[in-house]
């Protein structure tokens, strides 16, 4: 089957800075793919190239087999893109916004009314469709934006950090709706710097750091690369920076990152056996008040691959 999306060796440079560096991945038809990376990793720049808003300096993008550079109109017809910024008319109701964008997309008038009803239902806003958008919460605006992106029945939905600036209730609603769409066969590209969202919604994950895809696979594959490594969360009263340096020197510790004023996250081969050595290493740098050994997870894989925690 033709993949929903294939991008190969995408490059974008600004001046002498390469912000997207040979990025490549594919999304199968009906697959949910997560692009996970810290702020500034290059996610939005990559998406802008995928949807034809930005021309790559190198590389290619095919959506449903169509080259975005050669036939942007046909490629865009297959994509529903929801940008990070809300793009709606606040003085209009959701229904009016949808009608406006639907006409802009060239949807036939008689189809539009029923389609507007369907997409409002898909995002759970049927009851509020006739209220002005400026009375909406951030999450409801985002859901309206998703409804706009769904109007023309795209095959690939691209969501760029859809839960940023969204209240917790809407966040749950957005994740539920996105999961349901994928369940119905929609292909999805979902970018986020929230690990738990990508873990929940996506079956395959690309980890992007400093413009490069440093790993790509199912969550299980990424975690398996860690072998017998455990994540250890240490809390202590004292000098966390000094303690992390001492911990890094312990044999078997591959990473030690300060994650808060009293917390350090470690990657450790054979976590439990090494605990006495870890406690001894902290020494007079602080008093350890808590230790938790966690089975390897996506967070650990990310730490291993990028040498930093996701929310740096």
Contact residues: ligand ATP, CB under 6 A? 14, 19, 37, 39-45, 161
Secondary structure E strands in the chain: 5-14, 17-27, 32-36, 58-63, 66-67, 79-82, 156-160, 187-192, 204-209, 212-218, 229-238, 253-260, 263-269, 286-294
Distance from C-alpha of 173 to C-alpha of 181, rounded to nearest angstrom: 12
Distance from C-alpha of 181 to C-alpha of 175, rounded to nearest angstrom: 10
Shortest gap between Cβ of 194 and ligand ATP (angstroms)? Answer: 11
> How far is C-alpha 1 from the chain's CA centre?
25
Residue 245 in tokens: 């340096």
Axis crossing angle, helix 240-248 with helix 275-282, rounded to the nearest 10: 130
Shortest gap between Cβ of 101 and ligand ATP (angstroms)? Answer: 23
- CB-nearer residue toward ligand ATP: 43 or 152: 43
Per DSSP, 283 falls in state: G
- CB-nearer residue toward ligand ATP: 119 or 303: 303
Shortest gap between Cβ of 216 and ligand ATP (angstroms)? Answer: 16
Rounded to whole angstroms, what are the CA distances from 232 to 128, 220, 259, 272, 292? 46, 19, 12, 9, 6
Distance from C-alpha of 49 to C-alpha of 96, rounded to nearest angstrom: 30
- CB-nearer residue toward ligand ATP: 21 or 131: 21
Shortest gap between Cβ of 187 and ligand ATP (angstroms)? Answer: 20
Find the farthest-apart pair of alpha carbons in the chain and give their distance in angstroms, rounded.
75
Shortest gap between Cβ of 65 and ligand ATP (angstroms)? Answer: 26
Query: Which 3 state secondary structure label does DSSP give 168?
Result: helix
- CB-nearer residue toward ligand ATP: 188 or 236: 188
Shortest gap between Cβ of 189 and ligand ATP (angstroms)? Answer: 13
Residues constituting the chain = 312
Shortest gap between Cβ of 5 and ligand ATP (angstroms)? Answer: 17
- CB-nearer residue toward ligand ATP: 15 or 260: 15
- CB-nearer residue toward ligand ATP: 19 or 258: 19
- CB-nearer residue toward ligand ATP: 36 or 123: 36
Shortest gap between Cβ of 309 and ligand ATP (angstroms)? Answer: 15
Residue 204 in tokens: 């395959």
Rounded to whole angstroms, what are the CA distances from 275 to 17, 153, 229, 230, 262? 42, 54, 13, 11, 18
- CB-nearer residue toward ligand ATP: 41 or 256: 41
């Amino acid at each position: 089957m033709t993949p929903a999306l294939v991008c190969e060796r995408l490059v974008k440079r600004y001046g002498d800075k390469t912000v997207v560096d040979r990025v490549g991945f594919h999304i199968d038809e009906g697959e949910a793919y997560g692009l996970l990376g810290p702020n500034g990793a290059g996610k939005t720049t990559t998406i802008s190239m995928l949807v034809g808003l930005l021309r790559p300096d190198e590389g290619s993008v095919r959506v449903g087999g169509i080259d975005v550079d050669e036939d942007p109109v046909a490629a865009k017809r297959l994509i529903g893109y929801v940008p990070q910024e809300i793009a709606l008319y606040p003085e209009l109701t959701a229904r009016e916004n949808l009608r406006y964008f639907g006409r802009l997309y060239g949807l036939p008038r008689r189809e539009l009314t029923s389609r507007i009803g369907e997409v409002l239902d898909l995002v759970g806003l049927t009851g509020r469709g006739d209220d002005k958008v400026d009375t909406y919460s951030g999450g409801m605006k985002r859901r309206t934006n998703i409804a706009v992106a769904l109007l023309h029945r795209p095959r690939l939905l691209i969501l760029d950090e859809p839960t940023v600036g969204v209240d917790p209730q809407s966040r749950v609603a957005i994740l539920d709706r996105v999961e349901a769409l994928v369940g119905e066969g929609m292909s999805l590209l979902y970018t986020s710097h929230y690990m738990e969202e990508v873990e929940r919604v996506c079956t395959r994950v690309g980890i992007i750091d400093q413009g490069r895809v440093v790993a790509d696979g199912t969550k299980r594959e990424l975690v398996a690369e860690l072998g017998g490594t455990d994540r250890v969360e240490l809390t202590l009263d004292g000098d966390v920076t000094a303690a992390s340096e001492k911990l890094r020197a312990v044999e078997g510790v591959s990473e030690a990152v300060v994650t808060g004023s009293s917390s350090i996250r470690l990657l450790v081969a054979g976590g439990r056996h090494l605990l006495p050595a870890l406690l001894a290493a902290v020494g007079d740098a602080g008093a350890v008040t808590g230790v938790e050994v966690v089975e390897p997870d996506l967070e650990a894989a990310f730490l291993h691959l990028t040498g930093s925690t996701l929310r740096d």
